[in-house]
Amino acid sequence: MAGNLTTGRAEDLPANANGKSADNNSIVVCFGELLIDFVPTVGGVSLAEAPAFKKAPGGAPANVAVGVARLGGSSAFIGKVGDDEFGHMLADILKQNNVDNSGMRFDHSARTALAFVTLKADGEREFLFFRHPSADMRLHESELDINLIKQAKIFHYGSISLIEEPCKSAHLAAMNIAKRAGSILSYDPNLRLPLWPSSEAARTGIMSIWDQADLIKVSEDEIKFLTGGDDPYDDNVVMKKLFHPNLKLLVVTEGSEGCRYYTKVFKGRVPGIKVKPVDTTGAGDAFVSGLLSSLASDLKLFEDEERLREALNFANACGALTVTQRGAIPAMPMKKAVIDALTKFAAS
């Protein structure tokens, strides 16, 4: 699940040894939440029925940062955790995975966020969050590492950081800094309805920054939610309600079935890679990391359909491999494993 999780203090990290990869020209900077997931030691039970829980590092933007680094790319994470054992453990996990964690901040009064998550027997995920408030919600605009944001070739974020102030203002400021610096803005809404005050607040909040993104990844369920129940498989729904004039690429993930893609010029579908799932946690984040790692080294993907399809096939394989292991960060695949899986799949 969570592998060998060792704790470490931020002050122990050498100034330039925060996991920076050599190629900073193609760095993917991920902004948002980093937390501890507690997952049952057995599958197919509700949270109340779970006999025990195991801790695993989590938080979608952090998962993506680790995923990019595992694939040989350069990545960084910006966000806030508590000045507590869990917060320092998470900072150390990013460092161990070659993610630049110099943009992390530590809150002295709020704790690192906790989430209890389980996949019930009926296939539905159940969440219970402890963030009242948690440190990630308390990141201030003044705490942003502006130089790190300006380096981003791709600036990636979700919507959870839009729920509460002061983090919301910090998020909007970081997006503006990245946009002005010429970064590609990448958005995965990653809907977590229990964290929002209401469904309407979630819909409004998620859509409030929709037209600023260059790249958006959504799931079928998120399309249904954001459009008020429209058919997520209808291309007309997607293009009329979710595609916007500044968008370079919209990707709709369909789990094991693969994904669909939409640009101003072309659209299509890339089938998924069939595996036996063990835990679907982090699959979407692994998909995003696969796509962003390809995009960071080749921005022409937006215009070349053949190269885009190759990148999406690679991203599908990243997602597929992740569900064959428990946990999110521990399951993020290395580049060789993805290439081997694609070779095996092509030969079958």
Tens digits of residue pLDDT in 234-268: 999 999 999 999 999 999 999 999 999 999 999 99
Q: How many CB atoms lie within 10 A of CB 307?
A: 14
Is the Cβ–Cβ distance between 252 and 223 less than 8 Å? Answer: yes
Q: Are strands 114-119 and 35-40 parallel, antiparallel or unpaired?
A: parallel
- Does 23 map to a domain? no
d(CA 195, CA 27): 30
Is the Cβ–Cβ distance between 60 and 90 less than 8 Å? Answer: no
Which residues lie across from 44 on neighbouring strands? 120
Which tokens belong to 266?
A: 């072309």
Percentage, residues of the chain above pLDDT 70 = 93
- Does 196 map to a domain? yes
- Does 5 map to a domain? no
Q: pLDDT at position 11, please?
A: 34
**String of DSSP letters for 61-122:** HHHHHHHHHHTT--EEEEEEEESSHHHHHHHHHHHHTTEEEEEEEEESSSPPPEEEEEEBTT
Q: pLDDT at position 24, please?
A: 57
Q: pLDDT at position 39, please?
A: 87
132, burial (CB in 10 Å: exposed 0-12, middle 13-18, buried 19+): exposed
The CATH number for 102's domain is 3.40.1190.20
Q: What is the mean pLDDT of each run of 10 residues along the chain (348 residues)?
A: 33 36 75 94 90 93 98 98 98 98 98 91 83 96 98 98 98 98 98 95 98 97 96 94 96 96 97 88 95 96 96 97 87 95 86
Q: pLDDT at position 123, please?
A: 66
Catalytic option among 214, 285, 298, 340: 285
What is this structure's pTM? 0.91
Q: How many CB atoms lie within 10 A of CB 325?
A: 16
- Does 241 map to a domain? yes
Which residues lie across from 82 on neighbouring strands? 107
The b/e string for 80-106 (b: 16+ C-beta within 10 A; e otherwise) is bbbbbebbbbbbbbbbebbbbbbbbbb
- Does 99 map to a domain? yes
Domain that holds residue 284: 28-32+59-106+143-347
Q: pLDDT at position 130, please?
A: 94
Residue 285 bears catalytic tag:
yes
- Does 195 map to a domain? yes
Q: How many domains are there within the chain? A: 1
- Does 18 map to a domain? no
How open is the CA angle 54-31-37, to the nearest 5 degrees?
10
- Does 75 map to a domain? yes
